[in-house]
Amino acid sequence: MTHPRPHLDTSPKVSDEVRKTTCYMCACRCGINVHLKDGKVAYIEGNRDHPVNKGVLCAKGSAGIMQVNAPSRLRAPLKRTGPRGSGQFAEISWDEALELATSWLRPLRETAPEKLAFFTGRDQSQSFTGLWAQQFGTPNFAAHGGFCSVNMAAAGIYTMGGAFWEFGQPDWDHTKLFILFGVAEDHDSNPIKMGLGKIKARGARVIGVNPIRTGYNAVADDWVGITPGTDGLLILSLVHELLRAGKIDLDYLARYTNAPVLLDTDTGLFLRDADGKPLVIDRNTGLPAAFDQKSIHPDLGAIHTVDGKTHRPVFHTLAERYLDPQYAPEAVAERCGLSPNKIKRLAAEIARVAFDEAISLPIAWTDFRGERHSHMTGRPVAFHAMRGISAHANGFQTARALHMLQILLGTVETPGGFRFKPPYPKPAEAHPRPHFKTTPGQPLDGPHLGYPQGPADLCLDDNGQPARIDKAFTWDNPLSAHGLMHMVISNAHAGDPYKIDTLFLYMANMAWNSSMNTAGVMQMLTDTDASGDYVIPHIIYSDAYSSEMTAYADLILPDTTYLERHDCISLLDRPISEADAAADAIRWPVITPDRDVRGFQSVLIDLAHRLKFPAFTNADGGAKYQDYADYIVTHERKPGIGPLAGWRGDGSQTGRGAPNPEQLQRYIDNGGFFVSHIPETASYYKPWNMAYQDWAVGMGLMDQPTPYLFQLYVEPLRQFQRAAEGHGAHQPPEHLRPQIRERLDPLPIWYASADSDCAEYPVHALTQRPMAMYHSWGSQNAWLRQIHGHNPLYIPTKLWQQHGFQDGDWARVTSPHSSITVPVAHMAALNENTVWTWNAIGKRKGAWALKPDAPEATKGFLLNHLIAELLPPKGDGLRWSNSDPITGQAAWFDLRVRIERTAPPTEAHPSFPPLTSPVGTGPKDPK
Amino acid sequence: MTTLPPKTAKKLGLVIDLDTCVGCHACVISCKGWNTENYGAPLSDQDAYGTPSGTFLNRVHSYEVQPPEAAPAQLVHFPKSCLHCDDAPCVTVCPTGASYKRAEDGIVLVNETACIGCGLCAWACPYGAREMDAAAKVMKKCTLCVDRIYNENLPEEDRQPACVRTCPAGARHFGDLGDPDSAVSQLAAARGGFDLMPELGTAPVNKYLPPRPKDQLDHPQTAEQIDILAPYLAPVANSPKGFLGWLDKTLERL
């Protein structure tokens, strides 16, 4: 049967208008084209011109339309009417809401600013929210880095002035061997996928080190299915093999690292000249010289004898440590769950590519000692790592070990290796140190967060007690550069180190998937004291959506969705630069809210004015900024330097220049972003390349050239160790001396991370975030939840058979803290002692406008219930926190469990009473 | 019964690289977004905030593969949509002529105004690539974004299927597989592009590129492999003292 073919319009109109802004469906910050029809969002695609995603877009980004239309969107300010945690609220006006907030906050600012704890979760405006908190005067501010990946960031900053992701990227154009450690399916999202596609297209090899073989690790040419928490041991074994074989870049180490810096044999601190500059021996003269002196050639091997004392370079200590047989593949393989031969082959492959396939680009450059080089030489092995290695109690030292491996190979900031993205590289000394000094009615004495250089920089009061509610920058975790958001609620509840009055949170689901000990946290948020008052008297929460956390607020300040707001992705904050360019971007309201909601940052500006913060108030008492958009354009951090680098002054200036009232329009006209390219001669060797240093000064990234050495040996760690050995005025409490002596080693070490009883809890349990979802915000999405609406616990073959599991079975999973009952599924491509599930799929009934019978609320579950913020008692009378002893990073992935087959219950356990939804339940039809 | 064109001028289709697909579902959602707004009835969702189900023209399945030798298990991500078969059983089975294959480019489409929602085509398709929309009661399938690839309202570089444009890993390629000189034909030839279930005689246009051999570090011929690599790990010294001696000598040569 032949039929007439229908007429088909192959050129239909696509949309009325395209507006270009920045995605916020995860933290990747891609450029998006938002197609509008009749003023409504019709379709979202990637922006081809954008430096981050170059046109592509992930599932989350394309599903943004379902986020913008989500029934869980909050509609108006809410004041709690029922008991805390019930979800019962009444709508109030913004005036009433802001007056109420002000009535709680003003007396605190005037009498005891520390009684406000302001923590901002997945904030992308920390330079602004941090300023707000400084102006309030509370020392209690941070974002979510403490429970995310501060180990990665801090280890990178202290070692080499930057880490992975927004600090830098693999050299996708030149690398020949790309090795991922502990990278789940995000962080960062599209650039990694684009890079993998790019390097695979030209035949480069990818190796994935991860207990779980999904996502990036599934497409890796080789999979190293390591036992969780042992990455550092593997890395130090690779270092052992490479050192032993002499497969290290001695020239690079001598020129660009502190390997040749002399250590004082008495103190383990650097020998320094009169100006405080670390000393090396110059091979030209054989004499000590400041590391940055012109024309010197630092000697990696030379020793220096003064007054009968022999001072040796860092490199001697390093070589002696890692050549020790304790790091031989045979000695570590079993603990890593690998064979010795596999470790050796991995080391050999790294050595082969680094040294047999070295590349050289004909780009001339001049280094900071004045030496001219005709080429840029690279050893094309690139690494990337994320939370898989850092969310352990040994994560800081493990991340340090990985950076040391890269540096020994000479692959950092060289062609084919790892490349920094402006404003990085930026060493620890160039960052602020933490500030905590409060004065009632006055701003804090400086920025909250920073990089301590020694015990004098800790946030301790005159009695040696923690100044911050999260106990960041204390002897428990001295280098907690991102704060410890995960300890705020439990510390505030315990009144340890002191009681607070108001807990003010933004965009962090702390009553659910962002907390350890979830049930305990819910209890802490609702506990009352002897007089019947809540132990935490006031809770203010801002989010765009009705989450599990909103139910625990007394006052809800409803945020807009990401398409209804102004934002800036700033070089002062977490920018979107590429290795070849500085870049920043904005969000702007491409649609108008149909609800009585306001962008959170504009609300903070309103509150700042009501509270008369100096930096937000004009001399005449009027508001300095009308809203966040006005702040983005007119705020100056230093004269001529503001949140956005593009089109400053008269529109022709970049980086430095007066505020330009047309700036936002220029960003909109350019597709929502700004890019300034780095000159080719400045493209690699950035920490030591004078062309880069000069370019960065011109951009306003620094005020003068500040070349520095990579810190294989981190002297601030040695400063803390010395304190623990009894030196200096600042002394740790006795019970922490051994921990500081052992863990804050200035050279990378490995120690067993989880100390749960292995026999009783023999199985490692992990989570990872699916590529198609971002936390609980993504898992409510009508399209995305059809992809990942279920999260079984994946069980490896050995355990599956050992327990006699069958399809459709359930398991009881028990940790030292608690137990859960959950559905299971078999997975073969998995470390044989590891189980895992997707993160943040499980939902509490009543949250997110989902129906009570939604699979996320009946079969979905969280591992969070199994993880406590404190380790089980060790019998020493103390309770130790479940975190890294150096940075305080939450050790999510140290979880150990036992599993047993159990009769299927009707629902996953534990289950909690349904919340009353302040926004009702979503419709059957999403549109 | 509906007839197929004896020959098509072009064979437009996709080449999907299973070595590179990370299973991110970007193509799935981009397809859902475009095709909800464009060709024919929207792709509906049922009980979107309860126990949801919806229409998708493209889905990604994941399969575990256990190699025969003692190598680690692998996970393969497998995106699947209509393969625009030359000998498309979904067309020939259609009682109304709603399902048809275009003579000019080989795209298999459903004329929704003629579709009676009988579902025969979905039964006939051995790949499970068609989905009945529960709201519109018409059969939905991949159109290869026929309303994008010729669309003069789009910039020329965007005239490709939404799934291809969005794929972050670059695992999806679009072009004329009837032209042996096209980039997609060349890619398929170079990488051993294969037909899905060729024994069924459907002659699919879309090609899949197989994953490259994996896990060389686990290759069973351990001794042989380590011998090749062993020189890279030949020790320069066997003790820290010896190492420092080697260092001195090496530094003198630098």
> What chain A residue is nearest to B157 in terms of C-alpha separation?
A48
> Distance between CA A21 and CA A36 in Å, rounded?
13
Averaged pLDDT for residues A866-877: 90
> What chain B residue is nearest to A827 in terms of C-alpha separation?
B64
For the four alpha carbons of B219, B225, B230 and B231, in that order, the dihedral sign comes to: negative
pLDDT number for residue A753: 85
> Distance between CA A493 and CA A476 in Å, rounded?
19
- Report the DSSP pairing between strands A793-795 and A810-814: unpaired
Q: Is the peptide bond before A630 cis (omega within 30 degrees of 0)?
A: no
pLDDT number for residue A927: 60
Chain B CB contacts of A219 under 8 Å are 19-22, 77, 169, 211
Is A325's Cβ below 8 Å from some Cβ in B? no
Is B1's Cβ below 8 Å from some Cβ in A? yes
Is A925's Cβ below 8 Å from some Cβ in B? yes
Sheet holding A309-313, edge to edge: A262-263, A309-313, A304-306
pLDDT lower than 70: segments of chain B: 220-227
- Name the residue with higher pLDDT: A166 or A367: A367
Interface of A with B in 40-59 (CB under 8 A): 42-46, 48, 53, 55-59
Please name which of A600, A605, A597, A596 lies closest in space to residue A587, comparing C-alpha atoms.
A600
ipTM: 0.96
> Distance between CA A724 and CA A476 in Å, rounded?
12
Chain B CB contacts of A59 under 8 Å are 24-26, 28-30
User: Are A196 and B25 inside 8 Å of each other by CB?
Assistant: no
Asked if pLDDT for residue A885 goes beyond 90, the answer is yes
Q: Is the peptide bond before A6 cis (omega within 30 degrees of 0)?
A: no
Asked if pLDDT for residue A856 goes beyond 60, the answer is yes
DSSP string, A707-767: ---B-SS-HHHHHHHHHHTT-SS----GGGHHHHHHH--SS--------S-TTTS-EEEEE
pLDDT number for residue B221: 61
Mutate to test the interface with A, among B166, B227, B236 (most CBs of A within 10 A): B166
Q: What percent of chain A has pLDDT over 90?
A: 93
Query: Nearest Cβ partner of B26 from A10, A58, A924?
Result: A58
Is A219's Cβ below 8 Å from some Cβ in B? yes
Query: Nearest Cβ partner of B218 from A59, A193, A342?
Result: A342
DSSP reduced 3-state for A823: strand
* Residues A716 and A429: beta-carbon distance below 8 Å: no
CA-CA-CA-CA dihedral for A830, A836, A841, A845, to nearest 10: 140
pLDDT number for residue A4: 62
> Distance between CA A927 and CA A589 in Å, rounded?
21
Chain A CB contacts of B97 under 8 Å are 1-3
Residue B86 in tokens: 């030359």
pTM of the model: 0.97
pLDDT number for residue A5: 80
DSSP code for A534: B
CA angle B178, B179, B183 (to 5 degrees): 115
Chain A CB contacts of B102 under 8 Å are 5
Query: Nearest Cβ partner of A193 from B52, B109, B169?
Result: B169
- Name the residue with higher pLDDT: B216 or A210: A210
Chain A nearest-CA distance from B29, in A, is: 5
DSSP string, A69-100: T-TTB--S-EEE-SSTTS--EEE--HHHHHHH
> Distance between CA A512 and CA A775 in Å, rounded?
11
DSSP code for A39: T
Q: What percent of chain A has pLDDT over 70?
A: 99
CA distances from A596 to A92, A158, A165 (A): 10, 45, 36
Chain A CB contacts of B230 under 8 Å are 348
User: Are B165 and A828 inside 8 Å of each other by CB?
Assistant: no
Q: What is the pLDDT of residues A141-160, one digit of tens each?
A: 999 988 888 999 999 999 99
pLDDT number for residue A755: 66
Q: Report how far Cα A129 is from the mean position of its chain's Cα atoms.
A: 17
Is B252's Cβ below 8 Å from some Cβ in A? no
Please name which of A582, A168, A578 lies closest in space to residue A384, comparing C-alpha atoms.
A168
Is A745's Cβ below 8 Å from some Cβ in B? no
pLDDT number for residue B219: 76
> Distance between CA A383 and CA A416 in Å, rounded?
10
> What chain A residue is nearest to B227 in terms of C-alpha separation?
A345
pLDDT number for residue A542: 98
pLDDT number for residue A777: 84
Chain A CB contacts of B116 under 8 Å are none
Chain B CB contacts of A323 under 8 Å are 239-240, 243
Chain A nearest-CA distance from B76, in A, is: 7
User: Are B29 and A344 inside 8 Å of each other by CB?
Assistant: no
User: Are B22 and A193 inside 8 Å of each other by CB?
Assistant: yes
Mean pLDDT in chain A?
96
Averaged pLDDT for residues A886-906: 97
Is B6's Cβ below 8 Å from some Cβ in A? no
Is A187's Cβ below 8 Å from some Cβ in B? no
Q: What is the largest CA-CA distance in chain A?
A: 104
Q: Report how far Cα A856 is from the mean position of its chain's Cα atoms.
A: 26
Averaged pLDDT for residues A846-864: 97
Q: What is the pLDDT of residues A44-100, one digit of tens each?
A: 999 999 999 999 999 999 999 999 999 999 999 999 999 999 999 999 999 999 999
> Distance between CA B92 and CA B98 in Å, rounded?
10
User: Are B150 and A55 inside 8 Å of each other by CB?
Assistant: no
Is B22's Cβ below 8 Å from some Cβ in A? yes
CA distances from B177 to B33, B63, B106, B127, B148 (A): 26, 27, 10, 20, 18
Chain B CB contacts of A63 under 8 Å are 29, 32-33
Interface of B with A in 133-192 (CB under 8 A): 135, 146-147, 149-154, 157, 162, 165-171
Asked if pLDDT for residue A508 goes beyond 80, the answer is yes
Q: What is the largest CA-CA distance in chain B?
A: 86
> Distance between CA A178 and CA A204 in Å, rounded?
8
Residues A390-424 as b/e (b if ≥16 CB within 10 A, e otherwise) read: bbbbbbbbbbbbbbbbbbbbbbbbbbbbbbbbbbb
User: Are A213 and B75 inside 8 Å of each other by CB?
Assistant: yes
Chain B CB contacts of A316 under 8 Å are 244
Structural domains present in chain A: 18-66+569-680 (2.20.25.90), 163-424 (3.40.228.10), 763-902 (2.40.40.20)
Residues 6+ apart with CB under 8 A from A196: A178, A206, A216, A219, B20, B22, B169
User: Are B168 and A772 inside 8 Å of each other by CB?
Assistant: no
> What chain A residue is nearest to B112 in terms of C-alpha separation?
A6
Q: What is the pLDDT of residues A227-241, one digit of tens each?
A: 999 999 999 999 999
Chain B CB contacts of A299 under 8 Å are 251
Interface of A with B in 850-879 (CB under 8 A): 850-851, 853-855
> What chain A residue is nearest to B2 in terms of C-alpha separation?
A1
Query: Nearest Cβ partner of B24 from A59, A244, A850?
Result: A59
> Distance between CA A80 and CA B81 in Å, rounded?
49
Fold of B12-213: Alpha-Beta Plaits (3.30.70)
User: Are B151 and A849 inside 8 Å of each other by CB?
Assistant: no
User: Are B254 and A250 inside 8 Å of each other by CB?
Assistant: yes
Chain B nearest-CA distance from A128, in A, is: 32
User: Are A300 and B244 inside 8 Å of each other by CB?
Assistant: no
User: Are A772 and B29 inside 8 Å of each other by CB?
Assistant: yes
Number of Cβ within a 10 Å radius of residue B9? 13
> Distance between CA A196 and CA A201 in Å, rounded?
8
User: Are B166 and A62 inside 8 Å of each other by CB?
Assistant: yes
In the block, residue with structure tokens 């090749």: B228
pLDDT number for residue A695: 97
Chain A CB contacts of B16 under 8 Å are none
Averaged pLDDT for residues A423-431: 96
pLDDT number for residue A146: 87
> What chain A residue is nearest to B93 in terms of C-alpha separation?
A1
Chain A CB contacts of B157 under 8 Å are 48
Q: Where are the domains of chain B?
A: 12-213, 221-253
Chain B CB contacts of A247 under 8 Å are 232-233
pLDDT number for residue A2: 54
